[in-house]
Structure 1
Amino acid sequence: RGLSREPGARWSEPGCRSCTCQEGRVLCDAVSCSIPCSHPLPPPAGGCCPTCTGCLHEGVARAEGDVFSPSDGNCTVCVCLAGNVSCLSPECPPGSCPNPSPSDCCSCHPAKCSFRGRTYAHGARFSPDGDGCTTCVCQGGEVECSFAPCPILDCPQHQRHLRPGQCCSSCRDPPAPTGCFLDDNGVEFPVGQLWSPGDPCELCICQADGSVSCRRTECLETCPYPIRIPGQCCPDCSAGCTYMGRVFSNNETFPSELDPCLSCICLVR
């Protein structure tokens, strides 16, 4: 390049080439870098070889003497020394741990539980009798059991019973009623019995479930002067006539209460 070099002279050319002058000729080779560290920094601007004045760890440049933790955990401590990264992890004791915590550096496995000859993992829930009445859980090598809560029953003790496959007692079904009991007069009517409770127009029946159903009879008056018979709901038009408070039989004549010159007769239709 127009420059004169002494025989045996050495110099660097762009592109990281090393050249020498030998017997009037220029010989160039790629620069050979000797890197004496495990985590060198990239070559500086204008340089060809990485440098061990710092460390490049997981893509992050660290200064000489820098102490840091790797990205996969905060329990390992690393230090950058002369381009080398040395890391130290905590020593964890072997075996299980009673109360594992996600923030602990040491990974441990909770203790298992042994119950009635069977082994359960930590956190396992099981029913020892298989009926679901008792639920147990394994916690750090200890088994804790609880019973299913039962509702409060409103029946006497002698009416309670435990059905097969159930955890809690229940009240027995009441016996089917055989009749209707009326508290006001103490009379019991069998199922299907009809009676009148005092009003001849009201009729009641004792139903199969022990309840009483009543309904009233609607009367249709077909004559203007019917006879009202005691104990009978509807007035009777076939037995005679009622006029001004008096009862007359069929075809019976009688003077009018309003006009003594008039004569009336009871006619049954």
Structure 2
Amino acid sequence: MVVHTLGVEMRRCLFCLLPVLLLLGTVSGQDSDRKIVALEQQVANLTEMVNLINAELNHHKTRIAFLEECECLRKCVYEGIERRHNSTWLQDICTSCSCQDGRVICTPLVDNPRCLEGCVVNNTLYDNNETFERDPCTTCVCKAGEVKCNTSQCPILPCLKNVTLTGQCCPQCLSCRDRGRVISYGRVYRPDACTQCICGDNAPLSTCTVQSCPNVSCIGTPIVSRRECCPVCKDCPPHGNGEAWVVDECTNCTCEQGEETCVNETCPFLNCSHSVTIEGRCCLSCEAGTLLSVFVVLSFALS
């Protein structure tokens, strides 16, 4: 506002001199001397006016600076918060603070007996000899107004990746659980013949893939091994797995998981003098009425 007023006054004085300057261009001689004297007088008046305005402007600048400095000095900034002069607040439940001429002054509240021997941590008052946890890894005790803490040391874990659960101090190995089993992180395993799993970034759940099997066409029943995923043919062409057949009257064969097994019938010793062949049977049979006595049989056996 003061600077604007100064500019207006100076422009007004210049407009006052403009007619005089124009008049000097049209006169000469004594008239010219008188005009010059009058012009010098007006210039002197103008100079005095400008000096007065500058003095007033400097006075206002000094006053403004003083007021600004005074106001800043009276305020307080405590823990990032601006406080007004003479304002008071509680730093914690046992400490009162105030702003006095730009200075923060904090004093203990002596009217609370617990504050004399207790400890204040995070605006919580703990009694003398009271134990508390500052965090899951730090246990503290209040001793006559002084807080003493012990920090737990965590062991080195023999695993590729670990995780710290909420509310716990030390990390633990990241693992998966599958059908009652604990699987370590990074391990690839097979819960069955058709499934391959890995305990990875999806822990505690494993990521698994299931093998798909092609269609098989067997003569007999396909076989599924405990160590293999997909069924396979275990035939004995032209016979299938599990099939039994007769080669002749004395030979019986079976196919078990691709292995052909044949058994030849063993014929018993005949105690007769004449034997015959019966159709459909492997072994000879004694003809009726040709059985020998025990004595004769022994004689033949010893001879």
Specify the TM-score bucket, using the shorter chain as the normaliser: 0.3 to 0.5
Q: Which has a greater percent of helix?
A: 2
TM-score, normalising length from structure 1?
0.32
